[in-house]
């Protein structure tokens, strides 16, 4: 983490072993320390930090409280939502480990993310994904009307529209997130990074499996539109503003509207890094022969 370059980054100690029970405690300890420091330096924010973070005994309670107070409406009360989130997070360890993985992913990949608490409290992409996971859990439990009502609130409040049936991996960064649309039969792998205004859409009015499948480690640039039951291979990169209607091979880069592969269809360039983690949005420019200003 380029802490040196980012004076507004909080100091972060060495990471503990990943995905252990310890990791959740470790992140929660960081968050509380950050919130305490911010509350001390900024009294105007202290009330907010105590109510959202410092008064809670666990990350699950803090997040349940925060989501409930973000997503409630005059007809869906915050106490009901709080109950729903808390029960789901408490009883489902995989939801909690995904929260932690997403916090780490956001903190590591987005240089604008100054702290874990910054992500927990302010990243609408992070919050939308955590709420989606609870909606998805309800969907798999055949509590579909409730899942759809929750989906509607998430779409209203965060402008992030992920169908509750869509399956989303962990270690996800939704940067900015506004306008993201992910359809009913879409699947998103682990360690994927998706920018705002991205669509993983369907192909028509016939039901069935009709949305994209995004492999692990993929990076999808801002405004990219991927339509249909196509496969974006592991570690592929989709350039900003691209329109993708057919499969993209692993570790290649597709750009343009309609999208082409960098290096050509026959022998596309293959990169070694994992774009979903390296967040390299623009290094392909030199290879993109059509790009000429």
Site string for a copy of itself, 236-265 (x = CB under 8 A): ---xxxxxxxxxx-----xxxxxxxx---x
Tell which residue, 151, 148, 172, has the closest CA to residue 161: 151
Helices then strands (H, E): number in the chain?
9, 15
Distance between CA atoms of residues 234 and 162, nearest Å: 21
Q: Which stretch binds a copy of itself (CB under 8 A): 12-20, 23-31, 59-67, 129-137?
A: 59-67
Distances from the Cα of 121 to the Cα of 5, 113, 225, 249, angstroms: 23, 11, 28, 36
Residue numbers 209-238 binding a copy of itself by CB under 8 A: 210, 221-223, 225, 227-228
Closest CA to 84 of 167, 4, 14, 149: 149
Q: Is 94 in the site for a copy of itself (CB under 8 A)?
A: no
116-155 positions binding a copy of itself, by CB under 8 A: 118, 121-124, 143-146, 148-149, 151-152, 155
CB of 95 to a copy of itself, least distance (A): 18
Segment contacting a copy of itself by CB under 8 A, of 11-19, 22-30, 90-98, 197-205: 197-205
**Per rule CB under 8 A, is residue 270 in the interface with a copy of itself?**
no
Least separation in angstroms between CB 13 and a copy of itself: 19
- The CB density around residue 100, as the number of other CB atoms within 10 Å, is 22
Q: Is 217 exposed, middle or buried (0-12, 13-18, 19+ CB in 10 A)?
A: buried
Query: What residue ranges in 135-247 does DSSP mark as E strands?
Result: 161-162, 167-168, 173-174, 181-182, 187-188, 193-194, 199-201, 213-214, 219-220, 225-227, 231-232, 237-238, 243-244
Size, binding site for a copy of itself by CB under 8 A: 120
Least distance from C-beta 259 to a copy of itself, angstroms?
Answer: 6
Residue from 20, 77, 93, 94 touching a copy of itself (CB under 8 A): that is 77
Distance CA 238, CA 235 (A): 10
Window of 17-25, 89-97, 105-113, 129-137 that interacts with a copy of itself by CB under 8 A:
105-113
What does the buried/exposed string (b/e) look like for 23-37 if buried means 16 or more CB atoms within 10 Å of the residue's CB? bbebbbebbbbbbbe
Give least dist CB 159 to a copy of itself, A: 5
Q: Of the candidates 21, 22, 91, 112, which one interacts with a copy of itself according to CB under 8 A?
A: 112
- Does position 33 interact with a copy of itself (CB under 8 A)? The reply is no
Q: How far is the CB of 19 from a copy of itself (least distance, A)?
A: 21
Segment interacting with a copy of itself, rule: CB under 8 A, options 14-22, 23-31, 39-47, 94-102: 39-47
């Amino acid at each position: 983490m380029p802490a040196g370059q980012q004076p507004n980054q909080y100091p972060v100690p060495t990471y503990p072993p990943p995905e252990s029970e310890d990791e959740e405690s470790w992140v929660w300890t960081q968050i509380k320390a950050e919130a305490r420091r911010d509350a001390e330096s900024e009294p105007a924010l202290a009330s907010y930090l105590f109510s959202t973070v410092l008064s809670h005994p666990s990350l699950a309670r803090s997040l349940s409280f925060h989501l409930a107070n973000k997503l409630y409406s005059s007809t869906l009360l915050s106490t009901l939502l709080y109950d729903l989130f808390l029960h789901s997070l408490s009883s489902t360890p995989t939801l909690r480990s995904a929260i932690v993985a997403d916090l780490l992913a956001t903190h590591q990949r987005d240089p604008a993310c100054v702290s874990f608490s910054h992500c927990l409290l302010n990243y609408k992409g992070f919050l939308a994904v955590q709420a989606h996971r609870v909606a998805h859990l309800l969907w798999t439990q055949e509590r579909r009307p409730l899942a759809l009502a929750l989906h509607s609130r998430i779409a209203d409040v965060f402008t992030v529209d992920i169908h509750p049936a869509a399956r989303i991996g962990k270690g996800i960064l939704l940067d900015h997130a506004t306008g993201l649309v992910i359809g009913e039969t879409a699947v998103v792998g682990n360690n994927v990074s998706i920018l705002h205004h991205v669509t993983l859409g369907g192909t028509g009015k016939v039901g069935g499996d009709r949305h994209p499948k995004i492999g692990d480690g993929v990076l999808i640039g801002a405004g990219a539109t991927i339509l249909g039951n196509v496969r974006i291979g592991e570690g592929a990169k989709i350039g900003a503003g691209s329109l993708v209607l057919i499969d993209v091979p692993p570790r290649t880069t597709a750009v343009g509207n309609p999208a082409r592969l960098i290096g050509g269809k026959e022998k596309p360039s293959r990169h070694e890094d994992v774009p979903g983690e390296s967040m390299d949005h623009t290094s392909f420019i030199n290879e993109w022969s059509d790009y000429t200003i």
